[in-house]
Amino acid sequence: MADKLNILVTGGAGYLGSTLVPMLLADGHRVTVLDNFMFGQSSLAAVCADPNFDMVRGDAREKDAVAPLAKDADLIIPLAALVGAPMCINDPLGATSINRDAVDMVCGLMGGDQRVIMPVSNSGYGVGEPGKFCTEETPLRPVSLYGRTKVEAEEIVLAQGGGVSLRLATVFGMSPRMRIDLLVNDFVYRAVNDRALVLFESHFKRNFIHVRDVARAFRHVIGNLETMTGEIYNVGLSDANLSKWELCEKIAEHLPGFQFLEAPIGEDPDKRDYIVSNEKIEATGYMPAHSLDAGITELKKGYQMIRNSIYGNV
């Protein structure tokens, strides 16, 4: 496959896409984004001057919109999704049609040497075993509709033959299309603005990863498509398998006076409680470049700009 690719990114104006697309353009690729702009965002304004960038307003579920774009693509990155269990609970039909069926459709349009890199939530691991790392061979036990649709999409991509699946840890960090509702982003926002947080299921552990490191993982796969195609990779910070309580302790190191306490008042619809091994992708030469500490510092700065809650998915 050529060094410079024609890349189609569905949902490319979202939280991850608006970080990834500028990187792909900087690498010299030609990038077409298909997005319905459901959040009214202008997150790709800074790259509109790039002659290698094309923007199409449309729905990733509409075959007539996707087919002509997919025909010319060397690589497809299907980011279009209803992300997170709460959003999928609010719109179960949308969750199924976007998260799974749209991926099935685009895979059906592909042929020849075309490739697809699919982001999947590692919430598919559900409830892990205490002290035991989840690897790519660990059985998937998704609890929520969101988890199930992403697991099913992964199966479709791998069955297609030209796919790579990236099982992403919980993402954090500033992005042109910001999301405050992600766990680290949410906790830091509350620490900055409220100085206090009530936790539920505070002992539940999960893995974390910076949004820029997720984008770097996509770039790493693009540079190693011949050897990585057909595989699944966990993508996370190996030193950040933390419980909610431990995360709050880390945030308090940066924001003295932040108070947090436990109360039996809620539950995670994904039941996420697991620790994850990222050794497989690290063995290919990929290593994250952004620590959790650096992300918290970055978010503190960002929240001097962001003072409202329109930057979430729910």
Q: What is the CATH number of the domain that holds 159?
A: 3.40.50.720
Residue with tokens 């598919």: 124
Q: Which residues pair with 119 in a beta bridge?
A: 166
Query: Which structure tokens are listed for 192?
Result: 């900055």
Q: What is the pLDDT of residue 308?
A: 67
Question: What residue type is 261 in one-letter code?
Answer: L
Domain residues for 258? 1-314
What secondary structure letter does DSSP report for 273?
Answer: B
Q: What is the pLDDT of residue 2?
A: 60
Each residue of 213-272: pLDDT tens digit?
A: 999 999 999 999 999 999 999 999 999 999 999 999 999 999 999 999 998 877 777 678
Q: Report the C-alpha gap between 212 and 66 in whole angstroms.
A: 27
Q: What is the pLDDT of residue 1?
A: 62
Burial label, 178 (beta-carbon count in 10 A; 0-12, 13-18, 19+): buried
- Which regions of the chain are under pLDDT 50? none
Residue with tokens 């099982």: 167
> Cα–Cα distances in Å, from 151 out to 73, 147, 217, 221?
24, 6, 19, 20
Q: What is the pLDDT of residue 131?
A: 85
Q: What is the pLDDT of residue 115?
A: 98
Q: What is the pLDDT of residue 311?
A: 61
Q: What is the pLDDT of residue 312?
A: 61
What secondary structure letter does DSSP report for 139?
Answer: P
Task: Look at the chain and report how many structural domains it folds into.
Answer: 1
Strands (E), the chain: 6-10, 30-35, 53-57, 75-78, 115-121, 133-134, 163-168, 170-172, 196-199, 205-210, 232-235, 241-243, 259-262, 275-276
Q: Are 105 and 35 in contact (CB under 8 A)?
A: no
Helix (H, G, I), strand (E, B) or coil at 165: strand
